[in-house]
Amino acid sequence: MNYKKILAAFASGAMIASMSLGISAHEAGKIDTMIENMTTEEKITQMIMPAFRTWQDEDGNQTNVTELNGELEALLERHGFAGVILFGQNTPYTESNVRLIDEIRKTGMADEGRPDLFIAVDQEGGTVSRLGQGCQFGGNMSLGAVNDTDVTKKAAGIIGSELKAIGYNVDFAPVVDVNNNPGNPVIGVRSFSDDPEMVVAHAVSFIEGLHENGIAAALKHFPGHGNTSTDSHTGLPLISSTYDELKKCEFIPFQASIDAGAEMVMTAHIQYPNIEKETYISKKTGEMINLPATLSKTIITDILRKDMGFDGIVVTDSMVMDAIREHFDALDAAKMAINAGVDILLMPYEINSSETIEEFEEYIDSLVEMTNKGDIDIEMINSAVRRIFELKEKQGLLDGGYGAADIEAVVKNAKETVGSAEHHAEEFEIAKKSITLLKNDDNTLPIKNNGEKTVILTAYDDELMSMKYGVDLLKSNGYLNSSTEVVIDTYKNMSDDELKDIVNGAKNVIIITELYGSSGLDPAGKSGVMFSKVDKLIENTHQNGGKAIVISCYLPYDTARFQNADAILAAWSMKGMSEDPRVSENGVKAYGPNMPAAIYLSFDCDEKPTGKLPLNIPKLTDNYEYSQEMLYERGYSISYSDPILGDANGDGKLDVLDAVYIARKLAQHNGDELPEIADFNKDNIVNISDAAAIARYLANAKRH
């Protein structure tokens, strides 16, 4: 199609259509004219967003796609896709990322005047972060632990500014799922909280941060993936919730985020048998299964569009995930998704070789034929293309004409913006604010700079740099001197004897734990081996007279598993460092800030953990299963004792003698109030009565 002629004809006097959402009547008329002149194939391909992570040549050699080859160029020249989604294989370095996007956009607009492309990425922050360089922060639950919406907006703003500098215009974020199932294997720390209202507050702030930097937001994963026990990447989940039940929880963040202007909603490949009754014979099992939300007209059109008023773009989760690929014929799945009200089919086909490109072309031809036969509703296609064009118009992508006359200037700006020292400094400060202290028996933390040996043990070798970085920061800031011995090692492959030897002579032993699923809690289970080693480390430390400190660096439910530790911190992210961020020839690689932040705050450094739990932590049964009783409730945290307070008689207990000591300290401060300390008898004089009340107050705070 000659888009340039159509646009020129319209500009000279085409019809003016009625107003469409968010655009003028003139723009709506232009869009209608473009759609009327498109072929069915052009409309179908405008509804597809492919990916090409890797490429296999004729000899079977596989490489990551960081620049377009001739066959990928030809594919993009032939078809006007909605856009392209990039992954970690495509994005190792900022400069190559900029140049790849530049190639994609110029090639994809080979037909002069063809609409520009959405360039999308999953940059949620934390666990799901694709950029090889830049800031990824600790993820949504880490932001939930900070629980300051201004901080969430700042983090999202930095993410948005880095994406914009590289050339992206769509972020498949934020996740607005409510993580109300501790056994969820795929959402977990990707969620802000298990409280829908808390998710609302942070999701809206995250969207604002993206929008202020010109990045469109896509809400994940409608109708809600937080209450599943199956990962849709590897299976087909089922949630038995009713419509009314979803309205009371899962729908709340989606509705608020839609009202806040989110441009896209990503669907979940989840069955809801109490909502969608239509079935399909699974090609894997031969059994009747309910249509998942991605293929459900009831869920997408009736609920999302009509009941919730969403008129933006509905994009599927990847159509090559096992939840779809293993159970549904690819063409049937595409047909049902489009007829259900989906606008963009995300990664409907694997594109990684010459053979798969040929198969993909056949897939497109088949969808065209199905549309011409009436199996796919052409009006649903027209509506989808219209919504895509409306967003492209708002983003300045509709008229095409992309040109990077000064690509070198773009590269220079991106390299100065992405992962800048200023951004990484903000990232680390936010990480420190998220660290949450849950247990601190006998003031185990903070570790004093008194020359006593401390051992830091992490699970995996690629996390050693994170530990070293945290310790080095303490040293450079004057909080650790050469007389304080710190040993850093990994425990994954240690024998029982080595687990004993490593803690020998240590006053403090910090152990990093990472829970990836509920099966890891049971030491008898296949994935419980690592936690069995942690059990032995805690036991060996206590036998040697030392203190054991557990830092939970992923799902926080393992904090209930190690209640025999003397102190417990939640750090929310297990992302490590592959190299020292202070020494790099090719720019700093992206890294997780939370691990070094937790190490930093474990020592006496004039700062304290201030995070609070953004979700409930249940107690475990004797079988290492989640109970209905809560160990730590949402909002819970404790803090280190104020430096001015002390254990007067050194017996590790808060008593009246300590209270008298506290009173004297308060008197020395001329009666100034300190945090959490008050004049209990209101006479503005610190006396024994006040001291006793302070002792009772502190003892009660210690118990809780």
Positive or negative: CA dihedral 665, 669, 675, 677 = positive
Q: Which residue has the tokens 């460092």?
A: 577
Compute the distance between CA of residue 69 and CA of residue 309 in angstroms, rounded to an integer. Answer: 42
What's residue 642's pLDDT?
45
Comparing 582 with 315, the larger pLDDT belongs to 315
Q: Is the pLDDT of residue 19 over 70?
A: no
Domains of the chain from N-terminus onward: 38-416 (3.20.20.300), 435-632 (3.40.50.1700), 656-703 (no CATH)
With pLDDT > 70 as the criterion, what percentage of the chain qualifies? 88
Mean pLDDT estimate for the chain: 90
Host H or E run for residue 382: helix 378-394
pLDDT greater than 70 at residue 185: yes
pLDDT at 657: 53
Start-to-end CA span in the chain (Å): 69
Residues marked as catalytic: 233, 317
Tell me the pLDDT tens digit for each residue of 435-491: 999 999 999 999 998 889 999 999 999 999 999 999 999 999 999 988 889 999 999
Distances (CA, A) of 379 to 36, 41, 374: 12, 14, 10
pTM of the model: 0.89
DSSP string, 563-591: TTSSEEEE-------SS-TT--SS-PBP-
Residue with tokens 């079988």: 623
Q: What is the mean pLDDT of residues 104-113?
A: 87
The size of the chain, in residues, is 704
Does pLDDT of 257 surpass 60?
yes
